[in-house]
Amino acid sequence: MRELLSDLMGELKGRDIAEQLKLLVNRFPGEVVFSTSFGLEDQAITHFIAANTIPVNIFTLDTGRNFPETYSTWSRTVEKYKLTITAWYPEAKTIQQFITAKGPNSFYESVENRKECCYIRKVEPLQKALKGNKIWITGIRAEQSNNRHEMQMLEWDEVNQVVKFHPLLNWTWGQVKQFVSRNDVPYNPLHDKGFVSIGCAPCTRAIKPGEDFRAGRWWWEDNSKKECGLHIHAEVTAEK
Ligand code: SF4
């Protein structure tokens, strides 16, 4: 696997993002997917894909608890770029049993409940969305959290058996904002109200000046536990 990552890294080096995406879809036709939650980074990547007509399959995880603003951003994106975005949902029976047993907001009561909710609403649907694919494009940036500082642009995801590609890994928040503004990319209006990382409505708040990017996610929890299980840090990279 390390060899494949090194080869790919060598091929991607020195190319711009549109070229990198084209190279990946040519190398793995029909097996490159991009997950969007309609945050600013994801919108920038969607723009690269749509503006260059790159045949990447785009999907989103509709947890059922998103902000109304997220759904309107989704609509505006589809409308502007004439894209198909596949929506993945939690298993109806599993979510029914969970809510019936623990109530609709049990994630505030314990980390265990929160992780169970994230597992049902995000992790399981993600596993289905990634199945059979070779490359998973994400909007991860290194400055989003300490954990993400260690990431490489290409990583092997052992759980999902897929290579993750983070084209914006080294972009700053300012660069993403500038790109979105210059290219008139539709974006979630919550970003103008202090929200940076936008997830489910009951689990996301705006951050205050100077706070960490991820401070607005599950703010009632200890910092070290703030991942939802979508991005387990990979151990195999092109450089390790
Ligand atoms: Fe559930 Fe909150 Fe996780 Fe969304 S972010 S899946 S509401 S615990």
What pLDDT shows up at residue 213? 84
Does ligand 1 have an atom closer than 6 angstroms to the CB of 122?
Answer: yes
| Number of other CB atoms surrounding residue 128 within 10 Å | 13
CA separation for the pair 27, 24 (Å, rounded): 5
Give the pLDDT score at 146: 65
The answer on pLDDT for 235 being more than 60 is no
Q: What is the mean pLDDT of residues 45-72?
A: 98
Atom 1 of ligand 1 has which residue's CA nearest to it?
Answer: 117
Q: Is the CB of 120 under 6 A from ligand 1?
A: no
Q: What is the pLDDT of residue 173?
A: 94
Sequence-distant (≥ 6) Cβ neighbours of residue 36 within 8 angstroms = 42, 43, 45, 46, 58, 59, 60, 85, 139
- At 151 the pLDDT is 78
Residue identified by tokens 């007509």 is 53
Closest C-alpha to 86, from 53, 118, 48, 131: 131
Q: What is the pTM of this model?
A: 0.92
pLDDT at 237: 55
**Is 232's pLDDT higher than 70?**
no
For strand 154-157 and strand 236-237, is the pairing parallel, antiparallel, or unpaired?
antiparallel
Segment 99-137, tens digit of pLDDT: 999 999 999 999 999 999 999 999 999 999 999 999 999
Per-residue pLDDT at 93: 98
| Residues counted in the chain | 240
Contact 185, 179 (CB under 8 A): yes
| CA count, 13 A, side-chain hemisphere, 223 | 9
**In the predicted model, what is the mean pLDDT of the chain?**
92
Of 5-14, 65-74, 82-91, 113-122, the least confident? 5-14
Instruction: Report whether residue 226 contacts ligand 1, using a CB cutoff of 6 Å.
Output: no
Q: How far apart are CA 229 and CA 112, in angstroms?
A: 12
Determine the 3-state secondary structure of 14 from DSSP: coil
Q: State the angle between helix axes of 173-182 and 40-51 in degrees (0 to 180), rounded to the nearest 10.
A: 50
Q: What is the pLDDT of residues 161-201, one digit of tens each?
A: 999 999 999 999 999 999 999 999 999 999 999 999 999 99
Amino acid 240: pLDDT: 37
Q: What is d(CA 114, CA 64) in angstroms, rounded to the nearest whole number?
A: 15
CA distance 64 to 49: 26
Q: Is the pLDDT of residue 234 over 60?
A: no
Amino acid at 227: E
Q: What is the pLDDT of residues 139-165, one digit of tens each?
A: 999 987 666 666 789 999 999 999 999
Q: What is the pLDDT of residue 144?
A: 76
Tell me, using a 6 A CB cutoff, whether residue 123 lines ligand 1: no
| pLDDT score of 224 | 64
Determine the pLDDT at residue 210. Answer: 86
Question: ∠ CA 42-47-50 to the nearest 5 degrees?
Answer: 120
Q: At residue 231, does pLDDT exceed 80?
A: no
The residue-averaged pLDDT of 71-91 equals: 98
What is the per-residue pLDDT for 229? 66
* Helix, coil or strand: residue 34: strand
Question: Which H helix or E strand runs over 155?
Answer: strand 154-157
Q: Is 143 exposed, middle or buried (0-12, 13-18, 19+ CB in 10 A)?
A: middle
The DSSP symbol for 200 reads B
Pocket mutation for ligand 1, best pick of 89, 117, 214 (most atoms within 8 Å of C-beta): 117
